[in-house]
Amino acid sequence: MDMISDPAELQPDTPWSGTVWAQATEESLADHENRARLCVATLLPFRNQKPDWEGFENSINWMTKCAEAAGVELAFVLNADTGYIFNLSPELYAEVIQRFRAAFPNPKIICGVTAVGASGDQFEAEWYHPHLDIAQTDSNVEVMIMTSKQLNQLDHERRRDAYFEIAEHITVPALAHALEPAFVPWATPFNPWLLHEIANHEKYVGGKISTLDEPHLLYWAAMCRNLKLNFSPHSGDDFGIASAIKMGLPLLIGAGVSACPLICQARKLWLSDHYDPRVYKLFEAFQSLEDSVFRLDDQGSAAAYKHSTAVVLQLLGIIASSEVHPNCPDIRPGDEYARMKEALIRPLRVAERLGIDLFKLA
């Protein structure tokens, strides 16, 4: 059977395996010219069971310096998983944005938006309104529509309709977030028909895809580039950071925090006008770190990466405590301080050799 290459032939049940875009290679999509942005899923640090606002500002200042040193465009993702969105009250959700904007009036922010108070089996678009209403008061913001169980369990056509219904309440550029069941058991990534439908909606300027088992970022990149869609695929793959850099695609990742100076420098060194073959060793170094930060527990979950990220920032002297949100159960067992210190050995060595001064132990 011929592989589908014409989007008019896509059906709601078409699998990626039936399309030409699932045959794409990373090499065929390599891009040494595009200066894609890095969207850092900003950690909300805690100290004495309360938000550590000083540490919050310190980390943002540090990441800003990292981006400026490498000439990389940076956007700050607030109130996503790394910011404990599922543990935030509406008041704290708003306070994070307000405190960020008071200290940093200029940077672009991307706010996570999820289904507040979702319950039962029937999907309600209104669940997304509380976060949208708060986030959209900012003057330089995008929103990331995070999936929910009730949204994800819809069939493909009703799921499309649900994203469009949410969009009726959106007044700023939006990203749609999809992920695999490796993250939550009920999650399913977009199939080609659904991605094409969302990508052609005027409110959705891009999306984030997070996968562990199948290379959906490749599929998204191949489709969007081949069809010249006005839709920007953002990689959420903390285990595959280098792939996005090689393809000239934006990253939207929690790893953008703990490895910020390394990723920013890799972005620069991959570009043709700054190319340095040592970038491959830099890829290896920060991926070895993030493989430890995002390691799976015995339940197959990487959710405790937030704790590991806080430990790394504490070791680098950016924040004072590695506490997580007091209501968050995602805590690493054992001596995470020693484990992260060991994981930092090679990245620190590579950073020193490349003169990346913003990546040093305190």
Burial environment of residue 293 by CB neighbours within 10 A (0 to 12, 13 to 18, 19 or more):
buried
pLDDT for the residue numbered 63: 99
pLDDT for the residue numbered 279: 99
Kindly report, residue by residue over 191-221, the tens digit of the pLDDT. Answer: 999 999 999 999 999 999 999 899 999 999 9
What is the CA 8 to chain-centroid distance, rounded? 30
What is the CA 186 to chain-centroid distance, rounded? 19
Centre a 10 Å sphere on the Cβ of residue 215 and count the other Cβ atoms it contains: 18
Residue 351 placed within a domain:
no
pLDDT band at 118 (very low <50, low <70, confident <90, very high): very high
Residue 172 placed within a domain:
yes
Residue 253: strand pairing partners: 40
Q: Which secondary structure element, helix H or strand E, spans residue 176, and what is its range?
A: strand 174-179
Per-residue pLDDT at 1 exceeds 80: no
**Full-model pTM:** 0.97
pLDDT for the residue numbered 257: 97
Residue 146 placed within a domain:
yes
Q: How many angstroms separate the CA atoms of 90 and 235, rounded? A: 28
Residue 313 placed within a domain:
no
First-to-last alpha carbon distance for the chain, in angstroms, is 59
CATH classification at residue 125: 3.20.20.70
Residue 315 placed within a domain:
no
Residue 6 placed within a domain:
no
pLDDT for the residue numbered 185: 84
Q: How many angstroms separate the CA atoms of 58 and 308, rounded? A: 18
Residue 323: strand pairing partners: 46
Residue matched to tokens 């405790």: 304
% of the chain at pLDDT higher than 90: 96
Phi/psi of residue 110, nearest 5 degrees: -125, 120
pLDDT band at 48 (very low <50, low <70, confident <90, very high): very high
Q: Which residues span the domain enclosing 164?
A: 29-273
Residue 308 placed within a domain:
no
Residue 327 placed within a domain:
no
pLDDT band at 356 (very low <50, low <70, confident <90, very high): very high
What the block records as the tokens of 62 is 């540090």
Task: Count up the domains in the chain and report the number.
Answer: 1
Measuring CA to CA, which residue among 243, 283, 247 is closest to residue 265? 283
Phi/psi of residue 36, nearest 5 degrees: -70, 150
* b (16+ CB within 10 A) / e for 181-207: ebbeeebebbbbbbbbbbbebebbbbb
